[in-house]
């Protein structure tokens, strides 16, 4: 059994999970509500495009311990640790040092709880492609993240967390992360240059993330944490229109899942996907095509978001798992 499962639930029903001591995280979407007293509750300030009010639920296999360490909210259950942290920004050109501090606090909390291996990080901040102090904010973020990972000795190119870096319209830097007691396997995409080897045209510090992390939780139980995946082949963005970018993204996802499945007795099965679509694009045709690719029952959550390269219109991340027996 994996130490937790992830699924989408209507917000109205989602609150019922708060009474379950196995709950690791309840993630809401949309305009930020006042900070919750419950460390398991958090919010991603992006508008959901399905017309519903979904929440993402991380349900553990056994009861969780929860708390707050130096502003880092956590829940852990002996195998897996979920963390989240929200820092205000004092100035738009100080994102780089703020990111370093945020990562240091995240790593310190994970270590203090006994889960030193950060497998997966989600990064959200505003004005992601805007210049501030002569550097695009996404590029400044990459500089700050790398500095923290280097200090943690986690920047080694074989143990980088899987990640997403997404633009919001709400101010502040929000980090969400999954950590474990033992490491996962880093998976790179054969169709793409590893992000940590991107040439310097994309910024002074190449982005420190892996394309996916394959985690063996024991026996036949595996999770594949899939980083934000976009229409990038080699290191270059491809195609100008949404559906062509989506097709390339789906090829990238298939290649990545196939690469990870080579380490497995049986192919990994997609569990769910989170889809980020740039504002003012109609997500309906994309939803239909993704459902045709992965089957009509694949859970999809669509969010309106800015992506870290101006020309990218869609980005997909998700979870795959070993087939349930
Ligand atoms: C790309 O392939 C698209 O900097 O953490 C995707 C996932 C992207 C994570 C990150 C960036 C990040 O380069 C951008």
In 15-136, alpha helices (H): 95-112
Q: Say whether pTM exceeds 0.95.
A: yes
**Which residue has 């002569």 as its token pair?**
134
- pLDDT one-digit tens code per residue, 231-247: 999 999 999 999 999 99
Pocket test for ligand 1, best of 175, 208, 227 (most atoms within 8 A of CB): 227
| Residue 307 Cα: closest atom of ligand 1 | 14
In the predicted model, is pLDDT for residue 176 greater than 70? yes
Q: What is the pLDDT of residue 51?
A: 72
Give the mean pLDDT of the chain: 95
How open is the CA angle 64-264-321, to the nearest 5 degrees?
A: 40
C-alpha to C-alpha distance for 208 and 107, rounded to whole angstroms: 15
Ligand 1, CB cutoff 6 Å, lining residues: 123, 163-165, 195, 207, 209, 227-228, 230, 232, 308
- pLDDT one-digit tens code per residue, 84-129: 999 999 898 999 999 999 999 999 999 999 999 999 999 999 999 9
Q: What is the pLDDT of residue 231?
A: 98
Pocket test for ligand 1, best of 206, 228, 248, 318 (most atoms within 8 A of CB): 228
C-alpha to C-alpha distance for 258 and 240, rounded to whole angstroms: 26
Q: pLDDT-derived band of residue 153, with 50, 70 and 90 as boundaries? A: confident
Residue 308's CB is within 10 A of a number of other CB atoms, namely 24
Q: What is the pLDDT of residue 33?
A: 72
Q: What is the pLDDT of residue 154?
A: 67
Pocket test for ligand 1, best of 140, 154, 209 (most atoms within 8 A of CB): 209
Q: What is the pLDDT of residue 240?
A: 97
Q: What is the mean pLDDT of residues 24-49?
A: 90
Counting the structural domains of the chain, the total is 1
C-alpha to C-alpha distance for 39 and 299, rounded to whole angstroms: 25
Q: What is the mean pLDDT of residues 138-162?
A: 89
- pLDDT one-digit tens code per residue, 2-23: 999 999 998 888 889 999 999 9
C-alpha to C-alpha distance for 174 and 84, rounded to whole angstroms: 7
CA distances from residue 268 to 137, 198, 209, 256 in whole angstroms, order as listed: 35, 28, 21, 10
In the predicted model, is pLDDT for residue 325 greater than 80? no
C-alpha to C-alpha distance for 41 and 257, rounded to whole angstroms: 30
Residue 301 belongs to domain with CATH number: 3.30.1330.40
| Residue 232 Cα: closest atom of ligand 1 | 2
Residue of 214, 211, 293, 281 whose CA lies nearest to 250: 293
C-alpha to C-alpha distance for 313 and 245, rounded to whole angstroms: 7
| Residue 207 Cα: closest atom of ligand 1 | 4
| Residue 211 Cα: closest atom of ligand 1 | 7
- pLDDT one-digit tens code per residue, 39-60: 999 999 999 998 777 899 999 9
**Domain with 39 in it:** 4-322
The rounded percent of the chain whose pLDDT value lies above 70 is 98
C-alpha to C-alpha distance for 71 and 116, rounded to whole angstroms: 18
Query: Catalytic annotation on 315?
Result: yes
Catalytic pick from 136, 248, 315, 317?
315
In the predicted model, is pLDDT for residue 186 greater than 90? yes
195 C-alpha to ligand 1 centroid (Å): 7
Q: What is the mean pLDDT of residues 161-172?
A: 97
C-alpha to C-alpha distance for 70 and 145, rounded to whole angstroms: 19
The rounded percent of the chain whose pLDDT value lies above 90 is 88
């Amino acid at each position: 059994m994996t130490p937790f499962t992830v699924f989408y639930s209507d917000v109205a029903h989602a609150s019922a999970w708060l009474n379950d001591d196995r709950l690791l995280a309840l993630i809401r979407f949309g305009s930020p509500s006042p900070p919750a007293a419950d460390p398991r509750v958090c919010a991603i300030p992006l508008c959901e495009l399905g017309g519903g009010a979904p929440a993402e639920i991380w349900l553990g296999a056994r009861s969780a311990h929860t708390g707050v360490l130096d502003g880092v909210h956590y829940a852990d259950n002996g195998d897996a640790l979920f963390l989240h942290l929200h820092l205000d920004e004092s100035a738009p050109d100080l994102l780089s040092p703020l990111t370093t501090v945020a990562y240091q606090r995240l790593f310190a909390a994970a270590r203090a709880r006994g889960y030193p291996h950060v497998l997966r990080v989600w990064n959200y901040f505003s004005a992601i492609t805007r210049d501030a102090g002569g550097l695009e904010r996404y590029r400044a973020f990459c500089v700050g993240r790398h500095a923290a990972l280097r200090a943690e000795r986690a920047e080694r190119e074989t143990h980088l967390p899987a990640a997403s870096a997404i633009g919001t319209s709400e101010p502040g830097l929000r980090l969400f992360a999954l950590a474990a007691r033992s490491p996962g396997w880093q998976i790179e995409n054969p169709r793409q240059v590893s992000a940590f080897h991107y040439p310097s045209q994309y910024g002074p510090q190449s982005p420190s993330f892996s394309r996916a992390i394959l985690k063996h939780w024991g026996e036949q139980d595996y999770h594949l944490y899939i980083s934000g995946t976009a229409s990038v082949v080699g290191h270059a963005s491809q195609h100008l229109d949404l559906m062509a970018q989506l097709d390339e993204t789906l090829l990238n996802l298939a290649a990545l899942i196939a690469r990870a499945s080579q380490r497995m007795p049986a192919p990994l099965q997609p569990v769910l996907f989170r889809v980020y679509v740039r504002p003012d694009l109609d997500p309906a045709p994309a939803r239909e095509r993704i459902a045709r690719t992965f089957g009509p029952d694949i859970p999809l959550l669509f969010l309106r978001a800015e992506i870290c390269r101006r020309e990218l219109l869609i980005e997909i991340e998700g979870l795959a798992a070993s087939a349930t027996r």
